[in-house]
A and B are shown apart, each in its own frame.
Chain A
């Protein structure tokens, strides 16, 4: 038996649950991982990714030396593998990167830069990255993949409540009374959370209502399944609101004390009858009525959602329709009672908290608010821009228009994750300068000029903030491979050089010697973090923000007494039908999503033992559609949309309804985002990943 020589407690690098993980280390290698006892948020539970999937850290293709593109400045750039690069010393690569950045800065100015920070990196990495971008490059063009996942949840909840995070903690789940899961395939995307939800149903007698176009595994535990047609969420939720008002089931006391705009909103609901919603959504009116009654009459009720709500051309409206329901029933501000967007990445909450967004400094302090601007200018010792920068896809557009020539990307893989990839690839091939920090050479790295090898989660210190706002530590288990360095160390070096080369007076803002020091600077600037330090997390294992001072215990559930915007705001909605519609040429709706064994762009999981059990993308198609098309299981299928085509194997399944296909997002060789559409929600700027029109044919035809 292979016994380990030490154990390192850390936080899982995969989804937003933020499981605490004990890595068993032998000879500087992870040989197994176990869940530490009774500690939040996972209380001794893990899923396959956390337990077995951290082996990517030892993969042979980890980057160990800085890489410089061999055919530098040949445009349009052609994607290349590792052979297209030469290894370089750190000094040469840093100097070259700083020179190229400085040249652009001096010749074209700040607006020529686009930057992506990283939801997989630590709060400290992200804080320092956005500080570099804002204070040295002098632009707010910074965003990350939150734009592509929960941007609409954030926009909607900000509007309705003034805060955009899960309002309940994971620890409250097992005691739920009634809950709705919508647009979240929780057993595959947040596996450990799903165990608590199932526990609530099986052991606590909680009632689960699933509102989702797919027959996901959780429907097997559900009291009701409302299987709406893709894109008709607003119809279902508005009709539930209609029923609640008509049957006088709303919480008048809560509405009176804690909300505004109810009268005006309720007057808009007349036409949204359950019968009308049935015609739009395909969900029987009686089911909508029953769901509305159950939700409204419950003593405590929580709503959980994922990408099915947010990744939509009307994602903000979807979120608002949920917020309206919660507000009218007073289902907010108590344990097990609230609104909960389940965050998809280990630190997507933290990356946003740390200022990785174009419109806000760390702690969601608006860049256009003069007081915030002055505060950050004083501490960062520089001048800052007061207008919001561009969002992820707006930056991609700006590259296409020649407005952005330089991109700096920390750990993200936009050429897997952006919609309409063929267009995105074209944009990236026209960049003048692309600098990347990453642990692997991924699909975006293939376009890079310079790649800095970064340390993985197991090779550095820092914090991740999970989906329920719990700030937790990651700890260094062994040294990074070769000459790889922590992202924050790379940024330290790069920022100082660019400052010097652009003749900016040195801010001495990039002299950090530990992640803990970086956290302390951020905590001084963000009131919600003031009571949190690495030392305190070490002692308590994790702290939920907001935590305004050292004596404050942290906040597991939000909105007990008030909402950050004051009163909760009702928002009138209309049914918008703006997604790409099917046609005789493209008769199927395609939805994208995730599977249990992989994660996002697959940079990590495809280089893990996880890939052995799930090595390829499968097209999920309803049996009657397969029959109609004359297709059989395991056959190679060509799927095409007006934007591109891919080939993959068919898996016949009644999980998705007739006329709706499903393809996972993780597989570069069948990259589904070649098919998806760049239509965006007007407020959140999130693309319509869950709906585009496609046709299918047998590969052999």
Chain B
């Protein structure tokens, strides 16, 4: 067991714990986007960043482990500014109309969805290639939850991957094949974890 301070609360916890879990243990909830309880945290979205005394940059609390004597601020003005900006940038490039959780976070943090209104929009044709669900990647923020579900966090089917780099980065199948031509078994476990409604059961999309 080690001791640290989170928002001035003294916390005792196992040294293998992440800052997020340690905060949770004393009732402090840190907002997240890509993190999901069932999945290996990818540390991608940076919405869960916290300020750690002595650290040069903000640290993603979903993957950073606690250390003895650490002093953590989970909601400092610097943290708040970063979180708000992340949401504003996502809103500027992606269609978040089905992303209920993100909309709530924007409201709570006072993020302005029009702040980066002039930015390049990520727009893709809807992929409608199977009888079960559709993939609307204009709504996708590339959190990679679906890729993880499809590979080694749940399904072990390995049908989804990321492709492209930088701005071109997106979720795809291998060689961009249509889903019925891949190892996809249409379990739909990816739909359950999609935070933005980019993956959606056909009947729900109507």
Residues of A bordering B, CB below 8 Å: 1-4, 24, 31-32, 34-35, 37-38, 44-48, 51-52, 55, 187, 191, 195, 198-199, 202-203, 221, 596, 609, 612-613
Contacts and interface: CB of A to CB of B under 8 A. Distances in A.
A202 B189 CA distance: 18
Contacts of B202: 609
Contact of A48 (B37, B187, B204): B187
The main secondary structure of chain B at its interface with chain A is: loop
A575 to B, nearest CB: 36
Contacts of A221: 156
Contact of B187 (A47, A199, A202): A47
B204 A2 contact: yes
A221 to B, nearest CB: 8
Contacts of A187: 185
- Chain B interface residue count: which class? 20 to 34
Contact of A609 (B132, B152, B191, B205): B132
B154 A1 contact: no
B200 A35 contact: no
B169 to A, nearest CB: 26
Given A32-B203, A613-B130, A613-B131, A45 B188 contact: no
Contacts of A203: 152
A613 B201 contact: no
Contacts of B98: 1
B5 interface: no
Nearest to B186: A48
Nearest to A192: B187
B1 interface: no
B204 A24 contact: yes
A119 B204 CA distance: 31
Contacts of B185: 47-48, 187, 191, 596
A31 B206 CA distance: 10
5 contacts: A38-B37, A44-B189, A45-B189, A55-B203, A195-B156
B89 to A, nearest CB: 24
Nearest to B132: A52
B105 interface: no
- Which residue of B133, B204, B206 has the most chain A CB atoms within 10 A of its CB atom? B204
A2 B205 contact: yes
Contacts of B132: 48, 51-52, 609, 613
Given A44-B38, A46-B188, 7 more contacts: A2-B204, A31-B201, A37-B37, A52-B132, A191-B187, A221-B156, A609-B202
B110 interface: no
Contacts of A596: 185
A38 B38 CA distance: 9
A44 B187 contact: no
A202 B188 contact: no
B180 interface: yes
A31 B203 CA distance: 5
A35 B188 CA distance: 10
A554 B96 CA distance: 46
A174 to B, nearest CB: 11
Contacts of B192: 34-35, 44, 46
Interface of B: 37-38, 98, 130-133, 152, 154-156, 180, 185-189, 191-192, 197, 200-206
Contacts of A195: 154-156
Given A35-B192, A52-B201, A609 B131 contact: yes
A48 B188 contact: yes
A221 B156 CA distance: 10
Contacts of A191: 185, 187
A55 B204 CA distance: 13
Contact of B131 (A35, A198, A612): A612
- Which residue of A32, A37, A187 has the most chain B CB atoms within 10 A of its CB atom? A32
A202 B131 contact: no
Nearest to B187: A47
Top 5 A-B pairs, shortest CB-CB distance: A32-B201, A198-B156, A612-B131, A48-B186, A51-B188
Contacts of B200: 1
Contacts of A199: 154, 156
B86 to A, nearest CB: 24
A2 B201 CA distance: 10
- Which residue of A4, A47, A596 has the most chain B CB atoms within 10 A of its CB atom? A47
A2 B203 contact: yes
A418 B98 CA distance: 49
A24 B133 CA distance: 15
Given A1-B200, A613-B180, A52 B152 contact: no
A195 to B, nearest CB: 6
A203 B154 CA distance: 11
Contacts of B37: 37-38
A288 to B, nearest CB: 28
B204 A32 contact: yes
A31 B204 CA distance: 6
Nearest to A47: B187
A52 B186 contact: yes
B189 A46 contact: yes
A4 B205 CA distance: 11
A691 B197 CA distance: 47
Contacts of A35: 189, 192
- Which residue of A47, A52, A187, A199 has the most chain B CB atoms within 10 A of its CB atom? A52
B156 A613 contact: no
Nearest to B98: A1
B129 to A, nearest CB: 11
B85 to A, nearest CB: 27
